[in-house]
Structure 1
């Protein structure tokens, strides 16, 4: 999830664990701990593109990291604030650190929660930024912080925020199940054979969903809004995997393909090859859109394959937002 969501979650967890002893300090340190796992993004800047992708939401988002890091941070904080013991602060740190990857497990990218096992848990039921998750949670947290640490209203407001946000996550799973059935039924009704299907919510909501459908030679992509009255329309995107057959000997290419879990297409523009990660969709809901949210330029140079992520721009975000509201209202 986005940084604000993780800050709010960490602060709320800190309040539950140590709010009665440390007051708003528990919220503050919980908020700080809630952002620590995402430092892997900073670390990734020192590595190549593929390694950075592999590192993201890996070790720092694992149970192992939470267990190892919590007592270290707990001891450090206890030397600054002595309202609670190092064990109490360590408990706060553990839960603030661990709830971060738990929340990320609901997103499309997922987390390697049980590192070092090569298993990435991704429910794909909520977008990384969702105001309906974050804003009610944030309002409850701010309201709770205005009361004294011993106040019953403070605890109730904080727990209300946790209840609302957790309930929304459960609703997102229900919505995923409902919309998944809609996509399956649409494929059956249109006599479309396929080998695999993945669904995910579109940005900022859980009302409009997208599906990636795997076939032998192409992928189909379609959207469904709970307000739709027309049948789901699917668009085909050729795999064109044969275009990179001559690059298969490069280790970093095979690692990138592994990151995508096989959900990728190859496109060629002006003689240059690009690998597109389908899992995160396109930057536009326009039926004719061809630009993907995550695309990687493949370039042979000095007997090496250089892989670089295609940068995003503000025009992409603007186009997505403009089409999102219109499509969400239904077709």
Structure 2
């Protein structure tokens, strides 16, 4: 149980390790929530232990735990190196930076930089990219809308939960808030309609999940493979547009 909580603490959402003394979540964001390079050694070690005779089963489990733990250490080191490397190439020098691994690996890293006026998404492959060649997709933010609504409980809560990596936008008469940490532009896991603006500018109505248009899984996996090896420098949006999908 303890190791599971510690592993959760290495994902982008983290877990509240220090309750009841400290309620904020601890999240290093050095591994994706599903990573076969961490899980497979443990599964192989368990399978071998079940069929091994004598002391080999215990030794196999020890080895698998060592390999998977070493992978976690690698993930932290790789994340730290990417973060230090990218800091000198931010689109805005004062932007807050989030570095998280792409799905299922720790060789391709997703970069999110947030300032008051914009947020930016970029990608960095340890196998193929140069820091100065990072291509950032810029998306405008609405700082005036946030200033007007920042004390609303739902806005304040999600802003705190997302560690400031959020988008708040007005779509027609609705206010939509997105956690930028999980997913990629424009398909994010947590996207909410906070409410609707009445004539006075106040938010009314319940909080609801906002619809998200997700690309087909096969497109996402194909792009991930090509981006990892440097076969494309495009992000998923431009890659799908070039492909005509």
Give the TM-score normalised by structure 1. 0.61
Q: CA separation in 1, counterparts of 2:24 and 2:151?
A: 25
Cα separation, partners in 2 of 1:322 and 1:294, compared to 1, 3 Å: farther
Cα separation, partners in 2 of 1:197 and 1:155, compared to 1, 3 Å: same
Q: Which residue of 2 aligns with 1:326?
A: 226
Q: Which residue of 2 aligns with 1:121?
A: 26
The runs of 5 or more residues in structure 2 that have no matched partner are: 234-245
What is the alpha-carbon root mean square deviation over aligned residues? Answer: 2.4
Q: Which residue of 1 aligns with 2:86?
A: 183
Any conservation in 2 of the 1:296–1:309 contact (CA below 8 Å)? yes
Q: CA separation in 1, counterparts of 2:140 and 2:218?
A: 27
Equivalent position to 2:117, from 209, 217, 226:
217
Q: CA separation in 2, counterparts of 1:166 and 1:312?
A: 35
Q: Which residue of 2 aligns with 1:265?
A: 167
Task: Give the helix-richer structure, 1 or 2.
Answer: 1
Tell me by how many angstroms 1:175 deviates: 0.8
Q: CA separation in 2, counterparts of 1:267 and 1:119?
A: 26
- Look at both structures and tell me which one has the larger radius of gyration over its CA atoms: 1
Aligned length: 224
Higher RCO structure (Cα 8 Å, ≥6 apart) = 1
Structure 2 residue 62 is the aligned partner of structure 1 residue 166: no
Q: CA separation in 2, counterparts of 1:145 and 1:314?
A: 40
The runs of 5 or more residues in structure 1 that have no matched partner are: 1-96, 283-288
Structure 2 residue 195 is the aligned partner of structure 1 residue 291: no
Tell me by how many angstroms 1:137 deviates: 1.6
Runs of at least 4 residues off by over 6 Å: none
Tell me by how many angstroms 1:200 deviates: 0.8
1:13-51: CA deviation from partner (whole Å, max 9, x where unpaired): xxxxxxxxxxxxxxxxxxxxxxxxxxxxxxxxxxxxxxx
Structure 2 residue 7 is the aligned partner of structure 1 residue 103: yes
Q: Which residue of 1 aligns with 2:178?
A: 276
Q: CA separation in 1, counterparts of 2:144 and 2:19?
A: 33
